Amino acid sequence: MRKTYLARRNALLSRTRFTWGASALLFALFAVALRVAAPNVFFAAVAPLERSAAAATRSVRAAMPRSAAGLLAQNDVLVRENAALAAENRALVQKSVDLLALLDATSSAPTVPGIVAGVLAAPPEDPYGSLMLAVGSRSGVSEGMEVFGDKDIPVGTVTTVLAAQSRVALFSAPGQKMNAWVGQQQLPIVLVGAGGGAFSASIPSTASVAIGDAVYVPGPGALPIGQVTRVDRSPSSPSAELRIAPAANPFALAWVVLRPGTQVLQSALSCATTTRP
């Protein structure tokens, strides 16, 4: 006679559910252990995944549909910018030819000083508002180096260096504060990182700061870091709140340049942060 019986099952966990949950936990614990024990090996293994993910994210973002009017306006701006850059390029090439002839030099085009680094991970994938770069101590990177995006716009400083990767704390990360100035009157302000690449600052309500005013941080000369996009004034408050959009969008950074830290920019970090004692 055929015997039937029911296997005893745990009311909370079945063997199947436990397997997937346990596998996920074991995988995560293994990742943590590898990160602690051998960080260079861990990040070397993860770097190709992060690079692919970052490239896929950028291509998806570029392919996302936008309004026709917005695209047309953007196209007009880009066409004008392209024409201006082409004219400037022709003038610079001619100037370079003239100078080389004058100096009787045979060198090639001047190189931009600094270390060029690819960005492996950036916000919003990185939840802590930092950048992970594909260069480390082997390429000459050291803690405290300043990081610049397109058009020499400062974006952060190097805080952690491994053999082949390094981590950058963005100036716009929540909690970061730095001295800056805004507008034609060069009104001094304290820039506060608001996350997502944005900044905020407080000014006296009587100050004449308008939307579109540029914000600068000290550096060789003045380094543009953003532009005022909103001014919140309240009749009952003695101060006004500025919202500042970054000049370099950290979400779209693919390449950055690292340069040795200058005391000028470092000293602008006015308050103690998680990156500075």
Partner 1 sequence: MCDDDTAMIRGVLTIFALVAVIALPWQLAAVLALLAGTLVPPVPLACGLLAEALYWAPNISAVPVFALSGAIATSGLYIVRGRIKASIIE
Residues that bind partner 1 (CB under 8 A): 11-12, 16-17, 20-25, 27-29, 31-32, 34-35, 42, 46, 49-50, 53, 56-57, 121, 124-130, 132, 159-160, 167, 169, 173, 274-275
Q: Measured from the CB of residue 144, what is the shortest distance to partner 1 in angstroms? A: 12
Which pairs count as long-range contacts for 52-58, CB under 8 Å and 24+ apart, including other chains? Answer: 53/121, 53/125, 54/119, 54/120, 54/121, 54/122, 54/125, 54/254, 57/125, 58/252, 58/254
The SS3 call for residue 144 is: coil
Q: Tokens in use for 128?
A: 């802590």
Q: Measured from the CB of residue 7, what is the shortest distance to partner 1 in angstroms? A: 13
Q: Measured from the CB of residue 19, what is the shortest distance to partner 1 in angstroms? A: 8
Our CB check for partner 1 shows the closer of 163 and 240 to be 163
What is the spatial distance between Cα 18 and Cα 23, in angstroms, rounded to a whole number?
8
Backbone φ and ψ for 225, nearest 5 degrees, come out as -120, -20
Our CB check for partner 1 shows the closer of 12 and 69 to be 12
Our CB check for partner 1 shows the closer of 34 and 264 to be 34
Our CB check for partner 1 shows the closer of 146 and 213 to be 146
Q: Measured from the CB of residue 236, what is the shortest distance to partner 1 in angstroms? A: 34
What is the spatial distance between Cα 228 and Cα 38, in angstroms, rounded to a whole number?
44
Residues 6+ apart with CB under 8 A from 49: none
Give Cα 25 to chain centroid, integer Å. 31
Q: Measured from the CB of residue 253, what is the shortest distance to partner 1 in angstroms? A: 15
Our CB check for partner 1 shows the closer of 196 and 224 to be 196
